[in-house]
Homo-oligomer: A and B are copies of this chain.
Amino acid sequence: MTDATRILLDENEIPTHWYNVIADLPSPPAPPLGPDGKPATPEQMGAIFPGAILEQEMSAERWIAIPEEVREIYKLWRPAPLVRAVRLERALGTPAKIFFKYEGVSPAGSHKPNSAVPQAYYNRQAGIKRLTTETGAGQWGSSIAFAGQMFGLEVRVYMVKVSYHQKPYRRLMMQTWGAEVFASPSEMTQTGREALARDPDNQGSLGLAISEAVEEAAGRADTNYTLGSVLNHVVLHQSIIGLEARKQFDRIGLYPDVIFAPCGGGSSFGGIAFPFLADKAAGDRRARNLRCVAVEPTSCPTLTKGQYAYDFGDASGFTPMMKMYTLGHDFMPPGIHAGGLRYHGDSPLVSQLCHEGLIEAVAVPQLATFEAGVLFARNEGIIPAPEACHAIRATIDEALRCKESGEPKTLLFNLTGHGHFDMSSYDRYFSGELENYDYPAEAVARSLAHLPKVG
């Protein structure tokens, strides 16, 4: 059985519970803080999130049941395959075994629906009729469009205007699933109208789009807001990735030595890594030397160059403050950076584990990630999303170290999505328009100087 290329599970093997890493943290997580510097209350967040989501956000229960209705929708594409990259191993001449968990099989083409589906479900349970969200390139927007449609919810997506016009295909995907998509800034909200009054040609930003989506959700009782990464409940939902992978490794009698995942807001990394950290916490001998490596771009090096401190979740400072690795909430990655993974901060859970030394982080330069993605595509067929190329790069580097040392390690990475809607980034790579960019230390210091003062 270890010779299998793809390790598949039957749909009745979809996990029945998500895993909550908070139960196994060495110390309790630092609470989010409100504008007054005091811990934010559930009431403060109740205007935009349903109770069940808030409960999950705060819960310290190790296992949280997945509703049957959510598992029914998961069955449209889950369990996702665990695949051994035999041809890539051969191309590298490495004694390492390389496995990837392929999340690109979801309708939206990435791991994002793993959380979009339960978020839509809990909102419908709470009597909510409409969801709002913001989207840049459209990964999260398309996932919530799909998930909303599955539960009969209206979905409104505020899409950064420049992406709305430059990347019409993700927008069309959302519309195919019945969502309304507005170019942000829009005429739909006070925030949008004011921005347009100041500058009718405003091309939008993620911060502005967040503000529009939150304003609409906060102002209407039948409408809630959804977020695709960073928060605890999102990382919780994504644990389905690692839980399935654990079963699949059991099936073939192997266990990973090193796990790699791209890391922007942290949900794809936490999703695949945390269930294996549970084994480590439980004293499982196989996990004793397990390493979990979050891979980020050198152009947005949150975990490797940021500061572990309280900061706002958004650029405008509307959200509660969270304790996390941050480059400063007004940090902006350079235009030369082609993929996602642009968030100034990181999941508080991923940040805490990194700060406590239980996980590692590494930053990789842009050109090396595309080089890795192309090598992967030419051996394994699948064309990976630029975000996933970060994990592939780090995995290949480890496999090459194994080649030098002769160690037959078992490596696992999270292939978070396919690149079908990112071919313009490959175009920029092939035509030599992309460059490496190490975010300069003085620029990081400048944005870190604006961290909010706490306590």
Contact = CB atoms under 8 A, between A and B. Distances in A.
Interface in A401-455: 420-421, 423-424, 426-427, 430
Contacts of A6: 11, 75
A377 B377 CA distance: 27
A105 interface: yes
A169 interface: yes
A341 interface: no
A426 B173 CA distance: 9
A146 to B, nearest CB: 6
Contacts of A150: 381
Contacts of A328: none
B426 A149 contact: no
Contact of A168 (B11, B106, B146, B427): B427
A420 B172 contact: no
Nearest to A175: B430
Given A75-B6, A105-B105, A381-B146, A423 B173 contact: yes
A309 B420 CA distance: 41
Contact of A107 (B75, B176, B383, B427): B383
B107 A374 contact: no
B77 A107 contact: no
A377 B10 contact: no
Contact of A378 (B4, B10, B149, B168): B149
A8 interface: yes
Given A107-B383, A172-B423, A172-B427, A177 B378 contact: yes
A178 interface: yes
A75 B5 contact: yes
A10 B11 contact: no
A52 interface: no
A77 B423 contact: no
Given A76-B381, A178-B378, A374-B176, A169 B8 contact: no
A356 interface: no
Contacts of A64: none
A47 interface: no
A169 B381 contact: no
A122 to B, nearest CB: 19
Contacts of A105: 105
Interface string A161-198: 00000001100110111100000000000000000000
A172 B430 contact: yes
A101 to B, nearest CB: 16
A109 interface: yes
A397 interface: no
Contacts of A430: 172, 175-176
A111 to B, nearest CB: 15
A8 B10 CA distance: 8
A3 to B, nearest CB: 10
A382 interface: yes
Contacts of A146: 381
Contacts of A284: none
Contacts of A109: 420
Contacts of A175: 426, 430
A61 interface: no
Contact of A421 (B177, B377, B381, B420): B420
B423 A168 contact: yes
A380 interface: yes
Contacts of A377: 107, 176-177
Contact of A172 (B75, B106, B380, B426): B426
Contacts of A178: 378
A166 to B, nearest CB: 13
Given A4-B11, A176-B374, 15 more contacts: A4-B10, A8-B8, A109-B420, A146-B381, A168-B427, A169-B424, A172-B423, A172-B424, A172-B430, A173-B383, A176-B383, A176-B426, A177-B378, A178-B378, A420-B421
A-B interface, 4 closest residue pairs, ranked by CB to CB distance from nearest:
A107-B381, A420-B420, A169-B423, A172-B423
